[in-house]
Structure 1
């Protein structure tokens, strides 16, 4: 799993990359006066703000637990992702407004080839950085970094659609395609923003791990509970990169505390190896508490 320091360095560089991409898209819009390229540049403004928020959220999330936050600050990343989703929705509404104003008065584009080439370079840069953020964020179980990467990837898809539409508009003279493409962009990022907010809210509500992951946890416990009679009431929840696992372990009534403790240590060690960073809580119960024996 990537270290906290590495995550924060990547988050810091995300701000630099976002500013560079925004500058390129702003230049493309300024050269062409295209409302579709304006919409693409507007989304990059959101990228800059979101990268700053993600960097700050990562710093807070990795602050050690204290007296007021004994379980840590992991959920700070979800607030970052929610804010990013809200910013995306706001940007989409601004794009829709601008596009609607131009839709009924389409205009030719200035220097379209140069503008499209610049925007294409920005899209390639965004794509490479999005891949890095998503892959690193998934390894680190960082909602803020994954959200930032997914937003950038949506930006790449948006740019590809905008470029395709504007190439067609220049080739055919159908300049009404410019505001139409901007509206398509706005609807696409509006959907993405709504989806991102929904995912982040689920995280704030202590969502359980995925079914496949839960099955792996059950196998690890079953493979390491020799000496115990059964386990039940397995519960999991995720908070940013932290994962909490708790369950009841039933042991023979005449087993000593020390023997039961050895079993718990073995299970905890196996779980922490299979689930790096997991916080494991085991409630030991006597034989008559068994549910399935």
Structure 2
């Protein structure tokens, strides 16, 4: 229930906050003709879409395994993160197109103080959203909420550039407004790239770093009658590692005794948040087996 409550809080913060900021920036940007503020507003539209996707992805990923999905639904989080990144890439194209048109037209224009006020409100709002959603994302170990929070951090920086664009226009450097819109595009693209880079490894079942494997072997070999551990195949699942491996045990043990050892090894490893749902195969520690495992 605590998890559901935290997830609901993150969804309310994200959706409610983005509706307010999106409306503010699009209305003010359109009325007073600021392409950088409109760009920031369209980014908030995508944030709203991303927040909705994040809520769905979080709920789906936590569903227990069933007959059709024996390994669970955790990859919904990674897929949701990639959808968020895709919306960021798509928005970048439209924002860049409008900014380039403004630059090519070369028509000077002025901006009102309301543009700066809207940018300041957006900055404060996005910073609050970043810290709120990131805190919840880390507590839930949720890749999709963390991805959304990183996007909000980028949005806060974007609002700073809108403020610089306003000052530039007031100093008769009107082209800073569309130019900073292109800077915002670069920030959006970079954040989308970072989200994609962090989501793909788990989606593609990338193995853990060597220190995780070493940690597993060290714990396994601390058990009496366990001579070696090998054929270790692990993959990341929501911040932990699952998979299977083989342990070589004293060949004089009975099947029941060897099984009891494997159960103790499994229980010990899964007390650590690094591992869960491990499958352990038992092999006799014959001389040739030990030689091959080295």
Distance 2:248 2:231 in 1: 11
1:74 and 1:242 in contact (8 A); partners too = no
Aligned residues: 289
Higher relative contact order (CA 8 A, sep 6+): 1
Please give the alpha-carbon distance, in whole angstroms, between the structure 2 residues aligned to 1:121 and 1:144: 25
Partner of 1:109: 110
- Whole-angstrom distance in 2 between the partners of 1:221 and 1:153: 42
Match of 2:135 in 1: 135
Structure 2 counterparts to residues 246-257 of structure 1, below 5 A: 246-257=244-255
* 2:147 equivalent in structure 1: 147
2:271 is paired with a residue whose SS is: helix
Q: Unaligned regions of 5+ residues in structure 2, if any? A: none
CA distance in 2, matches of 1:270, 1:219: 12
Aligned residue number for residue 272 of structure 1: 270
In structure 2, relative to structure 1, the CA distance for the partners of 1:89 and 1:180 (3 Å cut) is same
Task: Name the counterpart of 1:65.
Answer: 65
SS at match of 2:236: strand
Structure 1 residue 140, shift from structure 2 partner: 2.8
Let me know the Cα RMSD of the aligned residues. Answer: 2.3
TM-score by length of 2: 0.89
* Map 1:134-283 → 2, pairs under 5 A: 134-170=134-170, 172-223=171-222, 225-241=223-239, 243-275=241-273, 278-283=276-281
TM-score after normalising by structure 1 = 0.89
User: Which shifted more, 2-11 or 37-46?
Assistant: 2-11
- Aligned partners of 1:200, 1:262: CA distance in 2, in Å? 37
**C-alpha distance 24-280 of structure 1, shift in aligned 2 (>3 A):** same
Quick one: structure 1 residues 69 and 242, their matched pair in 2 at CA, closer, same or farther if it must change by over 3 Å?
A: farther
- Asked if structure 2 preserves the Cα contact closer than 8 Å seen for 1:61 and 1:77, the reply is yes
Aligned partners of 1:99 and 1:183 also within 8 Å: yes
Contact 1:81 1:196 in 2 (8 A): yes
Counterpart of 1:45 in structure 2 is: 45
* Over 6 Å off, 4+ runs: none
In the TM superposition, what is the alpha-carbon distance from 1:100 to its structure 2 partner? Answer: 1.0
Segment drifting more, 30-39 vs 66-75: 30-39
Query: Is the CA contact (8 Å cut-off) linking 2:109 and 2:169 kept in structure 1?
Result: no
Pick which of 6-15 and 138-147 moved more. 6-15
Q: CA deviation at 1:211?
A: 4.2
**Contact 1:31–1:115 under 8 Å retained in 2:** no
- Residues 115-147 of structure 1 show CA distances to partners (whole Å, capped at 9, x for unaligned) of 212222222221222223233323433221111
Q: CA deviation at 1:5?
A: 4.4
Contact 1:123–1:156 (Cα < 8 Å) also in 2: yes
Q: Is the Cα–Cα contact under 8 Å of residues 165 and 181 in structure 1 kept in the other structure?
A: yes
**Equivalent-residue separation in structure 2 for 1:221 and 1:21 (angstroms):** 52
Answer with 99-108 or 88-97: which moved more: 99-108
Classify the secondary structure of the residue corresponding to 2:241.
strand
